[in-house]
């Protein structure tokens, strides 16, 4: 059995492997004491295109496909959480065979004598960001397929930066790197390619997609390869422990609103505080005051003062003192979105 403590308990950006060899990517910073909320990503499959230690694996992309796979094959990794009051994918601690830490993977690449093309690109970009941002090596890591040794020559670069201040430093460093031409913004053709991939799991109009994706700082191209950087607060900075708040689902809404605070919009999970809310579809009885998503694609959508439209699940949030507010959770459903306008 894996023993977890404050230094080893997996959080956003980590991967975990179950006793059966299923590989999950960890979601968020708030987890129950006896398990880790994580979504299945790679599964052993003799027809899979990725190979590790002579075992073939298949990557599962959409959230719906991931849930179907577990429901049909490993229902024990689906459970109704009493705090979030919804069915979640999660691995009990006693079913975890291995934990993959992005920070340790980066250190491994630093000392590795022979690197693949994608490993070399990931290492170089991570070190460039580290130097430009003035952050410590232990603040940055390599996630995604590289982390679990299942990358291919065409794999993306997935980096993660831990800590609020380190995150801001990395964000401003990336802005400078775009200005200097070290990394490149997506052009329209690149965005068309990205849209074709994303539309499988997110349903929005291409022009709305272009408006938000074209100005993002945390993604782009490095040596003609897609890269994504997630900024993740440390659990001690996040301000919420498991059970501090109870969540209750109240159905779906489509809203328009003004963003009044965007300081957490660059982090994963991301949050936008909103006002002047208009309910366009769904029950108008509940007025949400924040939009939250655990998916990186909903970061950097809007800044303070801009109006947005969003679709998501309304949740009633009750803290330990009995105080109540309502939030819109975006990203659990393919029809969910946040767009400008």
Instruction: For residue 2, name the pLDDT band (cuts at 50, 70, 90).
Output: low
Name the 3-class secondary structure at 293: strand
The share of the chain scoring above pLDDT 90, in percent, equals 92
**What pLDDT does 200 receive?**
73
Give 230's contacts (C-beta < 8 A, 6+ positions apart): 12, 13, 143, 158, 159, 160, 161, 218, 268, 296
Name the 3-class secondary structure at 319: strand
Distance, CA of 183 to CA of 125 (rounded, Å): 9
Q: Whole-structure pTM over 0.85, yes or no?
A: yes
**What pLDDT does 60 receive?**
95
151-187 pLDDT, tens digit per residue, is 999 999 999 999 999 999 999 999 999 999 999 999 9
Name the 3-class secondary structure at 42: strand
Whether pLDDT at 17 is above 50: yes
Q: Are strands 78-81 and 86-92 parallel, antiparallel or unpaired?
A: antiparallel
Average pLDDT over residues 303-309: 98
Distance, CA of 27 to CA of 229 (rounded, Å): 15
Whether pLDDT at 49 is above 80: yes
**What pLDDT does 199 receive?**
77
**What pLDDT does 68 receive?**
97
Distance, CA of 314 to CA of 328 (rounded, Å): 5
Average pLDDT over residues 293-322: 97
For 32, 122, 143, 248, the CA distances from 14, given in Å and listed in that order, are 16, 16, 7, 27
Instruction: Report the chain's mean pLDDT, rounded to a whole number.
Output: 96
**What pLDDT does 6 receive?**
47
Closest CA to 42 of 79, 16, 9: 16
Helix (H), strand (E) counts: the chain: 8, 18
**What pLDDT does 109 receive?**
98
22-38 pLDDT, tens digit per residue, is 999 999 999 999 999 99
50-74 pLDDT, tens digit per residue, is 999 999 999 998 889 999 999 999 9
Whether pLDDT at 203 is above 80: no
Instruction: For residue 198, name the pLDDT band (cuts at 50, 70, 90).
Output: confident
Give 270's contacts (C-beta < 8 A, 6+ positions apart): 264, 292, 293, 296, 298, 299, 300
Instruction: For residue 14, name the pLDDT band (cuts at 50, 70, 90).
Output: very high
Quick one: fold of 244-340? OB fold (Dihydrolipoamide Acetyltransferase, E2P) (2.40.50)
Instruction: For residue 197, name the pLDDT band (cuts at 50, 70, 90).
Output: confident
The share of the chain scoring above pLDDT 70, in percent, equals 98
**What pLDDT does 5 receive?**
52
Average pLDDT over residues 279-287: 95
Computed over its alpha carbons, how large is the radius of gyration of the chain? 20
For 273, 275, 328, the CA distances from 307, given in Å and listed in that order, are 12, 10, 15
Instruction: For residue 107, name the pLDDT band (cuts at 50, 70, 90).
Output: very high
Distance, CA of 252 to CA of 9 (rounded, Å): 33
Whether pLDDT at 235 is above 50: yes
Judged on CB neighbours under 10 Å (0-12, 13-18, 19+), 1 is: exposed
Delimiting residues of CATH 2.40.50 domain(s) in the chain: 244-340
For 12, 309, 340, the CA distances from 255, given in Å and listed in that order, are 28, 6, 12
Distance, CA of 78 to CA of 93 (rounded, Å): 14
**What pLDDT does 202 receive?**
74
**What pLDDT does 122 receive?**
99
Whether pLDDT at 3 is above 60: no
């Amino acid at each position: 059995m894996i023993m977890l403590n404050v230094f080893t308990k997996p959080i956003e950006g980590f991967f975990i492997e179950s006793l059966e060899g299923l590989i999950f990517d960890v979601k968020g910073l708030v987890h129950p004491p006896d398990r880790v909320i994580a979504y299945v990503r790679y599964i052993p499959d003799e027809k899979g295109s990725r190979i590790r230690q002579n075992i073939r694996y298949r990557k599962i992309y959409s959230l719906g496909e991931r849930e179907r796979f577990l429901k049909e094959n490993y229902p024990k990794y689906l459970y109704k959480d009493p705090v979030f009051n919804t069915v979640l994918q999660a691995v009990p601690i006693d079913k975890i065979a291995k934990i993959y830490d992005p920070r340790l993977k980066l250190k491994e690449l630093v000392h590795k004598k022979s690197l693949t093309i994608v490993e070399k690109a990931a290492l170089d970009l991570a070190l460039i960001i580290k130097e430009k941002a003035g952050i410590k090596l232990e603040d940055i890591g390599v996630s995604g397929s590289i982390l679990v040794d299942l990358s291919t020559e065409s794999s993306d670069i997935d980096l993660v930066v831990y800590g609020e201040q380190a995150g801001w430093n990395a964000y401003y460093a990336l802005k400078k790197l775009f200005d200097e031409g070290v990394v490149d913004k997506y052009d329209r053709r690149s965005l068309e390619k990205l849209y074709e991939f994303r539309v499988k799991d997110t349903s929005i109009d291409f022009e709305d997609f272009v408006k938000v994706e074209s100005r993002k700082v945390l993604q782009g191209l490095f040596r003609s390869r897609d890269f994504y950087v997630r900024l993740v607060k440390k659990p001690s900075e996040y301000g919420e422990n498991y059970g501090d708040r109870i969540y209750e689902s109240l159905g779906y809404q489509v809203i328009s609103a003004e963003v009044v605070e965007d300081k957490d919009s660059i982090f994963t999970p991301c949050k936008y505080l909103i006002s002047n809310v208009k309910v366009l579809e769904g029950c108008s009885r509940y007025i949400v005051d924040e939009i939250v998503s655990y998916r990186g694609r909903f970061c950097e959508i809007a800044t303070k003062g801009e109006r947005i439209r969003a679709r998501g699940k309304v949740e009633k949030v009750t803290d330990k003192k009995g105080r109540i507010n309502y939030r819109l959770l975006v990203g659990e459903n393919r029809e969910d979105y946040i767009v400008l306008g």
